Amino acid sequence: MAKVCQVTGKKPITGHKVSHSNIKTKRRFLPNLQTKRFYFVEEDRWVTLKVSTEAIRTINKNGLSTVIKEMRANGAKI
């Protein structure tokens, strides 16, 4: 699977690895993704999402139903 957050859309970015002698080589910065199960009360089922830690905080703050409603409005299948 792709290393993309299902809620926020975060994905890997590229940059430079800089050595002590200041030699720059390409590298990837990966998002901190976690596979997490949430209980969706409205549909009485468990939902497994691949989310970043920022998205987990967003779900805790706004609620799972609000986040899923926004995801479905953007065309995500859950």
- Segments in the chain below pLDDT 70: 1
Which of 65, 71, 67, 76 has the alpha carbon at shortest distance from 42? 65
24 alpha carbon, distance to own chain's centre: 28
Task: Check residue 9 and give its pLDDT.
Answer: 95
Average pLDDT, the chain: 95
- The answer for 59, left when phi > 0, alpha when psi is -120 to 50, beta otherwise, is alpha
Rounded Cα gap, residues 52 and 61, in angstroms: 14
> Kind of pairing, strands 13-18 and 24-29?
antiparallel
pTM of this prediction?
Answer: 0.85
